[in-house]
Amino acid sequence: MDSVEFLSTAATKRSHGPRSAFRIGPRCRKDVFFSETTMLDFDYAKTIGKMCEVINEGRTIAESMSALLDFCESEAPNDSKLWKELRRRNYADSAWTFQQAFGALLQSMPVHAKYTGLYFGLDALNMEESKGIEFGCSKTFDEANDDGGVKWAYNSEFYPFEIPSELHRELYNGVVEMAGLADHAVCIAYTGLAIRDALTELPRNLTLGGAKSRAVCFGPHDGDLYRLGTLRADGLHVHCR
């Protein structure tokens, strides 16, 4: 796929969970100050491939985000002001804050072992108004029949909390265009990296919660979801796809 197919959506507010198991590509636009590249100007498949490549490599957050921004600069050199603005952010500190908040929330609201799938969702339309990262839990993931997909996430029935993210609030409030190159290669990719590190470093009794395994996915709640990997007793097995 050389470019992204435009898919308009209604600006639905404050609904929980992923909205469609069959939506392909990006979401609706929001005007921003820095970008000249529209959602039609970037290669969606190439961008998601790069995102997963970087997540799977296991480098630090800082190194990973630098590599992703190098990719963005090569794909959209006319957006140099945007890439310069995004390089000013301290992604490592933001990921650490995310990890601490997520760990504290799991400590106060443990997730029962019957939940075998974890979904982390971005609702960019509301994040500029301080909505956090959605955290949903599904009972329908079965590792014995795992095809590497995310269909189980659309059956999430337990949403114990949202994880605060000041970084997402700032970026979606006029810096990054929803559904554009930076949304996928920066905002969504950073989310996957932050989740990867949190699930790697937080105590397994919190993240696995007694389950034998838990599938993990992330993405916009009205767009494509991406499988991060599988959490087991011996750690997070990362295989972003």
Q: Give the domain extent around 194.
A: 39-238
7 falls within a domain: no
121 falls within a domain: yes
- pLDDT score, position 9: 28
15 falls within a domain: no
153 falls within a domain: yes
219 falls within a domain: yes
pLDDT by position in tens, the chain (length 241): 333 322 222 233 345 677 543 333 334 444 445 555 555 589 999 999 999 999 999 999 999 999 999 999 999 999 999 999 999 999 999 999 999 999 999 999 999 999 999 999 999 888 877 789 999 999 999 999 999 999 999 999 999 999 999 999 999 999 998 899 999 999 999 999 999 999 999 999 999 999 999 999 999 988 899 999 999 999 999 999 9
- pLDDT score, position 36: 54
- pLDDT score, position 165: 96
- CA count, 13 A, side-chain hemisphere, 162: 18
Instruction: Provide the pairing of β-strand 133-138 with 158-163.
Output: antiparallel
13 falls within a domain: no
What is the count of structural domains for the chain?
A: 1
- pLDDT score, position 152: 97
- pLDDT score, position 203: 98
10 falls within a domain: no
27 falls within a domain: no
Q: What is the pTM of this model?
A: 0.87
- pLDDT score, position 68: 98
